Amino acid sequence: MYELWHRVAIFRALEARGWRPLPPTLDGGYGIGETHHFARGGQLLRLDIVAPPAAGFAGTRALEEAVATVEPGAASFHLRLERLESARWRLALDEWAARASGGG
């Protein structure tokens, strides 16, 4: 279900809160479709686009969740990906980005 518009919207939401993307890396693991890193001040944020634990990675259609892990502290924040870019999903994205950025 993961589409390009998901990535664009997620990146914009994080960048609006002061996170800057770092050069891409090739880490990841079982069930992880993409991994991106962002920095802000002394913090690092790892963004994983993942499939459900039992599904593993079977292409972008299997990816259903964005997980932001913020260091230091290793707090994780989960955002379910929706099939449509609705107002409800945009609100969930905004709340997720705020929580991952230390607000909300």
Average pLDDT, the chain: 84
In the prediction, which pLDDT does 93 show?
Answer: 95
Encoded amino acid at 63, one letter: L
Question: Could you tell me which residues are beta bridge partners of residue 34?
Answer: 49
Express each pLDDT in 4-38 by its tens digit: 888 899 999 999 999 999 987 766 565 677 889 99
Cβ-proximal residues to 19 (8 Å cutoff; 6+ apart), any chain: 38, 39, 40, 45, 101
pLDDT at 60 over 90: no
pLDDT band, very low/low/confident/very high, at 78 (cuts 50, 70, 90): very high
Domain edges within the chain? 4-100
